A and B are shown apart, each in its own frame.
Chain A
């Protein structure tokens, strides 16, 4: 063997190796680069199991952290109709021996129905219908959202062809308590009403996605999990509502509404110093666990969504504006006639009387429309409307509740004379109950209007605030004007038409009644009234605001219908929050001269 031939052989072998290597490299590039995406997808399909991981929607809790809305797992019961039929069930007897029993489909259907709350016929017809439409049908819902107990029982039945899907669901442990505020979600988890809807950004969870591989027996292979997106849980929504007080207020309003035959009623409780709503009651209430039990009309919160002509509770605004502008005080005198006719305006008081010598305080105590009209004239319309707007009328409150209304405010430049006078005593304009509450909060808080708050904030799982509602306090009227108005309203309780029904022993209460005529929808007033009461206590240092509205009471068409429930709720509030009884005596403003 010469050196030359040896070199040639080496060269040949090298050439072959390079050629083979070249083929490999070419194939490698083809697989790894050219067809990579396609092959990867195919491979993933073959061995990877895609899996959606679920984030949990945040809870809604009251100011003490008591849950009002919870996320829970529920189960959809599904079936593969083509696989449904009679089967043999193997069960274990007490002595450990196995026993086989024949189970017919009607019997199995009855077993299912018992757990899902349907009838056996219903279950059978679901399967029969699916098979009629498509004999090869392999999917049908038998029941949706069954609870864990029922799910466990159904799993234990071991009926072939029956499958389960876990679904995220919501439960509202307190039922109708704050139901109108909390709102509800739809069957497939989409937010539909109330805070569930408006605060969805805070509450919503985002689902994650992962793939994993598993062995022949379905066990996940360790280390094969690839998380493409992590599931994140929703945040907790904290309300300013106190659940127990909310229940009490709802119960009290419902009792009175039924007693006087009112189709609907509202009540609010607010902290005077902070503008936080402690209770917002709507009657009828909705139970978010089953909204179908309630008329769609009553599924929202009328406190925010139904503007109405407030009536005489609005006289306090006119009185406060007059005092703030320096045009009147509690002792300002007016001779109030029964009927007042001027420049085409024609209005009268709610009860017949001789001309009454009243002070401004007396005008509120007697709720004289003519008196407030005559005094209200002192203030220029534009200026008076500036005050009304500053009190928050004509724009939605900071709560921004789902479907919240701004109310209706006429244009002072173009309104007719009748409206000019009517607006001094709360007719000819519309406010929501939330706005009235805010007005009385302003009067009770030295003229400083605090932003209305229903939500404390959105809290992350680690306890930090993600967001809290903003809004600046606003000095609407002077402290003197606000305090004077509160003192004037005390005479409603002490000298008004309500006897002892508004008094709370030990406390000075300031309130104003309202018996508003309700528009019949054609521009005229019908025979319906909205009776109301709004006030603060204790009057020497107002802590809490309570407002009540009852619509169209059948048996008692005056604010006397609202007085006892106002007193009951205010008593409960003062008791619950341990408010010390009034220590400063009332100025007892004179009502007549």
Chain B
């Protein structure tokens, strides 16, 4: 067991290692205790450096964390807003897909329900029931209410409105075309000599092969 303990030999400078260097006769040699007690710069640097590293990483970590906190906050806010939008839209969708709304729209488009269905039996090709065209008076006023639809107009009305607008636009177009045509006609009347180009146009037109139909 005696070998278990290592004794450091005193670190005296070897005289032989420095030949040629004049050395004083007497030198204060620190005791082993003194030498042990002396702080070592390397350790100090290491510890302080480590401390700063810890502090720095702590700082960076908390910067990162609070950055994340703001990111989370803004994403959560975004999620809330989108959730709200989603709720509004799905509420709209659900009330618009209610049977009352569908029936009202079908009615507005002129659809009527046939209360007397007729069946064709495939086994003997028998017609079961008397086929009668459904008439509009069979569909009575809607009697199953839905307060959520109070401010909803049938889509058919909107379609009709859109059609009217489209027709108006188309009408405007037609007017324009008419104006252009009349303009052409006017120019045609005014520029009588310009018949040549039209004949060339005709000529080029006649050069197109006639379609072959079977």
B208 close to A (CB within 8 Å): no
Residues of B129-171 whose CB lies within 8 A of A: 129-130, 140, 142-149
| Complexed CA–CA distance, A285 and B143 (Å) | 9
B171-198 vs A, CB cutoff 8 Å, 1 = contact: the mask equals 0000000000000000000000000000
Contact with B along A155-180 (1 / 0, CB 8 A): 00000000000000001111111000
| Whole-angstrom distance between the Cβ of B84 and the nearest chain A Cβ | 5
Interface window among B3-11, B45-53, B111-119: B111-119
Residue A590 CB within 8 A of the other chain:
no
A42 touches B (CB below 8 Å):
no
Task: Given A67-B94, A148-B88, A506-B121, decide whether A175 and B116 contact each other with a Cβ distance below 8 A.
Answer: no
- B43 contacts partner chain A, Cβ-Cβ < 8 Å: no
B30 to chain A, nearest CB (A): 20
B143 touches A254 (CB 8 A): yes
Cα–Cα distance between A161 and B123 once the two chains are bound (Å) = 77
How far is it, in angstroms, between the C-alpha of A505 and the C-alpha of B118 when the chains are bound?
Answer: 7
CB pair B88 A285 closer than 8 Å: no
Asked if B91 and A568 make an inter-chain contact with CB atoms under 8 angstroms apart, the answer reads no
Q: Is the CB of B144 within 8 A of A505?
A: no
| A581 part of interface (Cβ distance < 8 Å) | yes
Are A177's CB and B147's CB within 8 A? no
Q: How far is the CB of B104 from chain A (nearest CB, A)?
A: 12
Say yes or no: is B22 at the interface (Cβ < 8 Å to chain A).
Answer: no
Q: Are the C-beta atoms of A176 and B146 separated by less than 8 Å?
A: yes
Contact A177 B144 (CB under 8 A): yes
- Say yes or no: A247 contacts B144, CB within 8 Å: yes
- Please report the C-alpha to C-alpha distance between residue A67 and residue B91 in the assembled complex, in whole angstroms: 11
Q: B143 contacts which chain A residues (CB < 8 A)? A: 250-251, 254-255, 258, 283
Q: Are B84 and A176 in contact (CB under 8 A)?
A: no
CB neighbours of B99 from chain A (8 A): 174, 177, 243-244, 247-248
Pairwise interchain contact A72-B144, C-beta atoms closer than 8 A: no
- Asked if A290 is at the interface (CB within 8 A of a chain B CB), the reply is yes
Q: Given that A174-B98, A243-B99, A247-B99 are known contacts, is A222 also in contact with B144, CB under 8 Å in the complex?
A: no
Give A234-273 as 1s and 0s: 1 = Cβ < 8 Å from B's Cβ atoms: 0000000001100110110011001000000000000000
Q: Which of A560-593 contact B (CB under 8 A)?
A: 568, 571, 575, 581, 583
Residue with the greatest number of chain B CB neighbours at <10 A, chosen from A221, A568, A581: A581
Using Cβ atoms and an 8 Å threshold, which residues of chain B touch A251? Answer: 103, 140, 142-144
**For the complex, is B26 an interface residue (Cβ under 8 Å from A)?**
no
> Which single residue of chain B is at the shortest CB-CB distance from A149?
B88
Taking CB atoms and an 8 Å cut-off, the chain A residues in 457-479 that contact chain B are none
Contact present for B69 and A581 (CB under 8 Å): no
Check if B145 sits within 8 Å of A175, measured CB to CB. Answer: yes
* Known contacts A173-B94, A285-B145, A289-B147; A247/B100 CB under 8 A: yes
Contacting pair A287 B146 (CB below 8 A)? yes
Residues of chain A within 8 A of B123, CB atoms compared: 583
Task: Output the nearest chain A residue to B130 by Cβ-Cβ distance.
Answer: A505
A221 to B115, CA, bound (A): 66
User: Does chain A have a CB within 8 A of B73?
Assistant: yes
The answer to the question of B108 belonging to the interface, with a C-beta cut-off of 8 Å to chain A, is no
Complex: A287 Cα to B149 Cα, angstroms: 12
Residue from B73, B95, B129 within 8 A of A173 (CB atoms): B95
The reply to whether B72 and A220 form a contact with Cβ atoms under 8 Å apart is yes
Which residues of chain B have C-beta atoms less than 8 A from A73's C-beta?
Answer: 84, 87
- State whether the Cβ of B201 lies closer than 8 Å to any Cβ in chain A: no
- CB atoms of A571 and B116 under 8 A apart: yes
Of A176, A223, A248, most B-chain CB atoms within 10 Å = A176
Contact B147 A581 (CB under 8 A): no
CB pair A148 B144 closer than 8 Å: no
**Cα distance A234–B91 in the bound complex, in angstroms:** 19
Does B63 have its Cβ within 8 Å of any Cβ on chain A?
no
Enumerate chain A residues within 8 angstroms of B146, measured Cβ to Cβ: 174-177, 287, 289
Instruction: Evaluate contact between A175 and B117: CB separation under 8 angstroms.
Output: no
Of B123, B130, B145, B148, the most chain A CB neighbours within 10 A belong to: B145
Residues of B within 8 Å of A176, CB to CB, are 100, 144-146
Tell me whether A173 and B118 are in contact (CB under 8 A): no
How far, in Å, is A497 (CB) from chain B's closest CB?
21
Please provide the chain B residues from 46 to 85 with a CB less than 8 Å away from any CB of chain A in the complex.
65-66, 68-70, 72-73, 84
**Complex Cα–Cα for A148 and B89 (A):** 10
Q: Does B128 contact A (CB under 8 A)?
A: yes
- State whether B149 touches A222 (Cβ < 8 A): no
| Pairs A–B under 8 Å by Cβ, sample size 11 | A175-B100, A175-B146, A177-B144, A215-B66, A220-B72, A221-B69, A222-B68, A255-B140, A505-B128, A506-B119, A571-B115
User: Which A residues fall within an 8 A CB radius of B?
Assistant: 67, 70, 72-73, 147-149, 152, 171-177, 215, 219-223, 243-244, 247-248, 250-251, 254-255, 258, 283, 285, 287, 289-290, 293, 504-506, 568, 571, 575, 581, 583
